[in-house]
């Protein structure tokens, strides 16, 4: 079995690249799976797309059938209609245990921009669910993603990674929002979008004392649910500009595939704001605000996900010990997972070889018993044990070789050789 991940994330690619490669809605993901089924029919595939990463996991029975890095890059280019050379250098690849370790680190949020953030678990779960709905999963990806969720729970329980500021909203508001505004209880907060990220942001802003909350979403029903939960009010989407004028803090988390607020539109909003400072947190990927909006006026403070990189790196530096603890756990779990995977791959051969040789041993012992019936029972037992020891000693070198080879990956060559040498068949 072979496993690989081709990906770009906040370490390797700027948001401007990630947002172009992102699968921002479930419809887009369905379309991607349809295309992937055509391009790579024999592969198990899971696509993970968040604001910080776009990752494609692929697993296959035979290494010869595995899609190449280039083929996957070509898929991204064709699907998103982006020239390959504009992002190919930002795409990374991991295979085998490195791919497993990578997913475990992602799900445990060791690889997240905001260390310990909990949203990534539900994002991985959702990606796995969508892959299952699209019949793209198989035995290996099932084991891998279920394992990743289990490892994530273990890391969160056994380390302190989840303590402190562990959401993008908390970092953004803590580092930048509080440097703009002294207090939030007299501010109007506008939430555009009503997804999980919007909810997470509201949770934090509520803790900071926010009282006046406006939720604007294309689906009014979802907006009403969110507003009711957090004591806010809703406004229809066509009144967004009026809400932009009234707001002091704007958090945008829509799944739009292009900016919903451009420079001319926000310029009109600014004319009515009378120079009041506005803190805009654009958590969308693709972004909801055109980046140039932040340059229009001194009173506009616009932040996107990548604006938090420096702060998050500083926070990461403070928690090196916890990261090391988490990585030790992940290393242990990766080794265990790979052992299980290889055991599954080599298990049938080992079992058949053992059974075959011990069958021969049993047959020979029976034949010997018939010929040497005068032997005492104690002597027969001694002979049987001797032959069993010989068989085990003879089995030891090939099985050890198989076990050793399996540590480096599925030993397809050796398995084939053993099948042929010992006539094991399929």
Partner 1 sequence: MPSVTVFCFLASYAVAFGLEIARWFRKISINRIVVLVAAAAGMVAHTIYLLNRSGQTGKPPLLSSTHDWMLVLAWLVIGSYLLLTALNRKLPLGVFLLPVVIVLIIMAYFVSDGPNLRVGPKAAIEQAHSGWVMLHATLLVFGITGVVVGFVLSVMYLYQHRRLKHHQAMANDLALPSLERLARLNRSAVIISVPLLTLGMLFGVFMGLLSRKGPNPISFADPIVISNSIVWLVMLVFFVWLLATRRPVGKQVAWTTIWAFGFLLVTIISLQVLTGDLDVIQTWH
CB 299 within 8 A of CB 272: no
Mark whether 243 is an active-site residue: no
Nearest alpha carbon to residue 281 among 256, 321, 247: 247
Minimum separation from the CB atom of position 156 to partner 1 (A): 26
Rounded Cα–Cα distance for residues 352 and 87 (Å): 48
CA distances, 135 to each of 126, 129, 131, 230, 285 (Å): 14, 10, 6, 37, 26
User: Which position among 138, 232, 286, 294 is part of the footprint of partner 1 (CB under 8 A)?
Assistant: 294
Interface with partner 1, residue 64, by CB under 8 A: no
- Residue 186: CB minimum distance to partner 1, A: 10
Residue 179 in the binding site for partner 1 (CB under 8 A): yes
* Least distance from partner 1 to the Cβ atom of residue 264, Å: 21
Does residue 301 interact with partner 1 by CB under 8 A?
yes
- Shortest distance (Å) from residue 162 CB to partner 1: 21
The answer to whether 175 contacts partner 1 (rule: CB under 8 A) is: yes
User: Does residue 289 touch partner 1 according to CB under 8 A?
Assistant: no
Residues that bind partner 1 (rule: CB under 8 A) add up to a total of 21
Catalytic residue among 8, 51, 137, 312: 51
* Site map 313..342 versus partner 1, x via CB under 8 A: -x----------------------------
Cα 316 to Cα 55: distance, rounded to the nearest angstrom? 23
170 binds partner 1 (CB under 8 A): no
Q: Are 3 and 27 in contact (CB under 8 A)?
A: no
- Options 26-34, 198-206, 308-316, 408-416: segment touching partner 1 (CB under 8 A): 308-316
> x/- binding map, residues 258-287, to partner 1, per CB under 8 A?
----------------xxxx----------
| 310: contact with partner 1 by CB under 8 A | yes
Interface residues with partner 1 (CB under 8 A) are: 175-176, 178-183, 274-277, 294, 298-299, 301, 303, 307, 310-311, 314
């Amino acid at each position: 079995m072979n496993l690989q991940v081709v990906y770009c994330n906040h370490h390797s690619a700027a948001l401007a690249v990630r947002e172009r490669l992102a699968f921002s809605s479930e419809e887009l993901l369905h379309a991607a799976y349809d295309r992937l089924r055509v391009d790579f029919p024999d592969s198990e595939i899971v696509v993970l797309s968040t604001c910080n990463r776009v990752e494609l996991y692929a697993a296959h029975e035979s290494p010869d059938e595995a899609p190449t890095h280039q083929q996957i890059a070509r898929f991204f280019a064709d699907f998103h209609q982006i020239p390959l050379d504009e992002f190919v250098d930002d795409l990374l690849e991991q295979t085998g245990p490195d791919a497993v370790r990578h997913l475990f680190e992602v799900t445990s949020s060791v690889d997240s921009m905001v260390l310990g953030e909990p949203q990534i678990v539900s994002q991985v779960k959702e990606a796995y669910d969508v892959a299952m709905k699209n019949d793209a999963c198989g035995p290996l990806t099932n084991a891998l993603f279920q394992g990743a969720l289990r490892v994530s729970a273990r890391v969160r329980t056994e380390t302190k990674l989840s303590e402190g500021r562990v959401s993008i909203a908390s970092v953004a508001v803590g580092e930048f929002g509080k440097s703009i505004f002294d207090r939030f209880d007299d501010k109007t907060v506008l939430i555009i979008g009503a997804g999980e990220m919007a909810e997470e942001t509201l949770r934090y802003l509520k803790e900071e004392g926010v009282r006046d909350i406006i939720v604007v979403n294309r689906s009014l029903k979802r907006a009403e649910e969110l507003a009711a939960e957090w004591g806010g009010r809703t406004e229809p989407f066509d009144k967004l500009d009026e809400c932009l004028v009234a707001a002091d803090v704007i958090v945008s988390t829509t799944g739009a595939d292009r900016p919903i607020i451009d420079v001319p539109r926000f310029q009109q909003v600014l004319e009515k704001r009378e120079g009041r400072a506005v803190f805009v947190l654009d958590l969308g990927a693709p972004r909801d605000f055109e980046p140039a909006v932040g340059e229009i006026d001194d009173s506009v403070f616009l932040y996107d996900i990548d604006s938090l990189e420096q702060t998050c790196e500083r926070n990461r530096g403070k928690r090196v010990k916890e990261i090391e603890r988490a990585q030790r756990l992940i290393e242990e779990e990766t080794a265990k997972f790979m052992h299980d995977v290889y055991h599954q791959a080599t298990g049938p051969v080992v079992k058949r070889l053992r059974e075959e040789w011990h069958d021969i041993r049993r047959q020979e012992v029976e034949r010997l018993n018939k010929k040497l019936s005068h032997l005492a029972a104690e002597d027969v037992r001694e002979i049987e044990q001797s032959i069993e020891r010989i068989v085990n000693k003879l089995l030891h070198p090939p099985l050890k070789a198989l076990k050793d080879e399996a540590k480096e990956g599925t030993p397809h060559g050796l398995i084939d050789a053993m099948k042929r040498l010992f006539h094991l068949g399929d």
